[in-house]
Chains A and B, each alone.
Chain A
Amino acid sequence: GNSVTQMEGPVTLSEEAFLTINCTYTATGYPSLFWYVQYPGEGLQLLLKATKADDKGSNKGFEATYRKETTSFHLEKGSVQVSDSAVYFCALTFSGGTSYGKLTFGQGTILTVHP
């Protein structure tokens, strides 16, 4: 079946540090890939996405590139802020077939940014 694996957390950084959260996936075919974020006290929200190989998703200074050859979708940000403290989830889905409409999530990575 389909699966998503994220790097072990939690991740603790100082403000303005560089962030990388690793995400790899196992799937038959070519899924669409997503990063969702869950801020304290809020629901999950889409951060960015990529729908085909070599696509780069970006939003709020975060970026992730869909790498088919390494089945990866690592999340990066050049300079994190305290307000980026949240739980980050990598996820995949397919645009058709039996997985249509289902998101498969990784286990989540807790990010804490200190001033």
Chain B
Amino acid sequence: DAGVTQSPTHLIKTRGQQVTLRCSPKSGHDTVSWYQQALGQGPQFIFQYYEEEERQRGNFPDRFSGHQFPNYSSELNVNALLLGDSALYLCASSLGQFANTGELFFGEGSRLTVL
């Protein structure tokens, strides 16, 4: 049973560029959430997608956008990259907007470095 898979695992961009990160949820899961984890910090909620719509959003600017596809996979897009966007981006999946058990399944993340 495949867990949450994310790609790419590492990438380097320069300021002002745009990046797209991808996530495939755990088999059977229909909800995807994205988190940003800066070095030495806990993950910060970016947004959640369910039924191909953004359902919840954290305190992130509009430069952060996303999409969910009919097969439940998801993309995170960040425009006009800033140095402060350097972080580990985590994708998490669940069944329903928030699983009855309260459990999210996380991928290993995509490490973004902005130079």
Q: List B contacts of A44 (CB < 8 A).
A: 43, 90, 92, 104, 106
Q: Among the interface residues B3, B106, B107, which one has the most CB atoms of the partner chain A within 10 A?
A: B106
Q: How many A-B residue pairs have CB under 8 A?
A: 66
CB <8 Å contact, A46 and B108:
no
CB <8 Å contact, B45 and A43:
no
CB <8 Å contact, A101 and B33:
yes
Question: In the complex, how many residues of chain B place their beta carbon closer than 8 angstroms to a beta carbon of chain A?
Answer: 28
CB <8 Å contact, B45 and A103:
yes
Least Cβ–Cβ distance between A90 and chain B, in angstroms: 8
Q: List A contacts of B102 (CB < 8 A).
A: 32, 34, 46, 49, 51, 93
B4 at the A interface (CB under 8 A): yes
Task: Select which of B41, B55, B103 is within 8 A of A101 by beta carbon.
Answer: B55
CB <8 Å contact, B98 and A43:
no
CB <8 Å contact, B56 and A103:
no
Q: List A contacts of B101 (CB < 8 A).
A: 49
Chain B contacts to A: CB under 8 angstroms: 3-4, 31, 33, 35, 40-45, 48, 55-56, 58, 90, 92, 97-98, 101-109
